[in-house]
Amino acid sequence: MTVCIASICGDGTIFGAADTMLTAGDVEFEPAHLSPPRFGKIANITSAIAVMMAGDTAVHAEIMYSYVVPAVDAWIKKFSPQWMPVEEAVNIYTEAWQKIRFKNAERDILRPLGFTYESFLKQQKETSPEKLSHITKALAEYALEPTAAIITGVEPSLFENSTYSRLFAIHGAEAVCFDTIRFAAVGSGFRHAESHFMSARHGAGATVSATLFNTYCAKRKAEIAPGVGSDTNMFVITPTLGSFTWLRDDVMEKLKATYETTVVANDGAVRAAYADIDTYLAAEVERVKANTQQDKKRDNPKPPSNQ
């Protein structure tokens, strides 16, 4: 698995971050770093829209290169010079996922029985109810290898010379809009990433610098989850149409150094807090001991003298 994270700051700038761990079946590894990254879990399908992919790499490769990329190219040729709406890209992606599920279900369930979808539909009346029920149930429950995606980008808004930043998280063929939440994460490290944004109280007023740093921090914190790689790719899409850009290596190094400085400072503050609480508890223990001794003296007074 992996983690993919995207966020929107107050002015509409979008930042995205993902690790580079690739998963296909029982194979999982981090390829050599490319600068800037050209392939992997982040793909800019237009200069204003990015797709971030978590889960089985083989399934995503088929989705992207067999369906999404050709469909996006066809849309651009048909509607140019219009800019593609982000939700159009979401629809293309989810339809591609359904087509692959449909094709693989036919391959794995129907073809071993001598059917295609077309022949199965034609021969339903001639198929026994028990067999028909079994096949129908298998088709309904057929699942691809787990996949999730984030699609984010900017598109023209209803107002002249302005844009709107969009953000969708997709699991299988189900897409959820996170435009108002302004951050989303998918993959095995998504809970750690989302928790960081919630702790940071990320919202519509977030600055560019805070959003950039929090996106990087969220990715680093997600590395505690199984299957999340340590290498990081990041991109930015400004509110200007056609502005998708990979973050340069020097920017990534600055984020890394700042994050590690913050971690050291935070660790020092936590250790100081532990020491402060330890001192407090030790004093409390002594106070309780002293009170206990006073109580014993009060409850067990010395017997009166016989002299």
Q: Are 243 and 264 in a shared domain?
A: no
Q: Are 255 and 199 in a shared domain?
A: no
The reply to whether 149 falls in a domain is: yes
The reply to whether 307 falls in a domain is: no
Q: Are 178 and 278 in a shared domain?
A: no
The mean pLDDT value for 224-244 works out to 93
Task: Point out the domain boundary residue: 211, 229, 247.
Answer: 247
Tell whether the model's pLDDT for residue 145 goes beyond 70: yes
Q: At what angle do helices 86-105 and 69-79 cross, to 10 degrees?
A: 140
Please name the residue ranges forming H helices in the chain: 57-62, 69-79, 86-105, 117-122, 129-141, 190-199, 208-222, 249-299
CB 113 within 8 A of CB 124: no
The reply to whether 303 falls in a domain is: no
Please, which pLDDT band fits residue 28 given cuts at 50, 70 and 90? low
* Residue ranges making up the domain that contains 262: 249-298
The reply to whether 25 falls in a domain is: yes
Share of the chain above pLDDT 70, in %: 91
Rounded-to-integer distance, Cα 114 and Cα 152, Å: 42
155: phi then psi, degrees, rounded to nearest 5 = -145, 160
Neighbours of 191 (CB within 10 A): 13
Q: Are 190 and 280 in a shared domain?
A: no
Long-range CB pairs of 297-306, under 8 A, 24+ apart, other chains included: none
The reply to whether 304 falls in a domain is: no
Q: Are 198 and 277 in a shared domain?
A: no
Please, which pLDDT band fits residue 67 given cuts at 50, 70 and 90? very high
242 CB-near residues (< 8 Å, 6+ apart): 47, 48
Among 86, 113, 57, 61, which Cα is nearest to 244's?
86
pLDDT in tens, 90-117: 999 999 999 999 999 999 999 998 888 8
The reply to whether 180 falls in a domain is: yes
Higher pLDDT, 73 or 117: 73
Please, which pLDDT band fits residue 144 given cuts at 50, 70 and 90? confident
Domain holding 156: CATH number? 3.60.20.10
The mean pLDDT value for 173-197 works out to 96
pLDDT for residue 190: 95
Q: Are 163 and 290 in a shared domain?
A: no
Rounded-to-integer distance, Cα 296 and Cα 125, Å: 92
Predicted model pTM: 0.86
Rounded-to-integer distance, Cα 227 and Cα 29, Å: 9
Q: Please count the structural domains in the chain.
A: 2
Q: Are 75 and 200 in a shared domain?
A: yes
pLDDT for residue 128: 85
pLDDT for residue 296: 73
Tell whether the model's pLDDT for residue 14 goes beyond 70: yes
Please, which pLDDT band fits residue 120 given cuts at 50, 70 and 90? confident
Tell whether the model's pLDDT for residue 298 goes beyond 80: no
Q: Are 253 and 149 in a shared domain?
A: no
Rounded-to-integer distance, Cα 57 and Cα 23, Å: 5
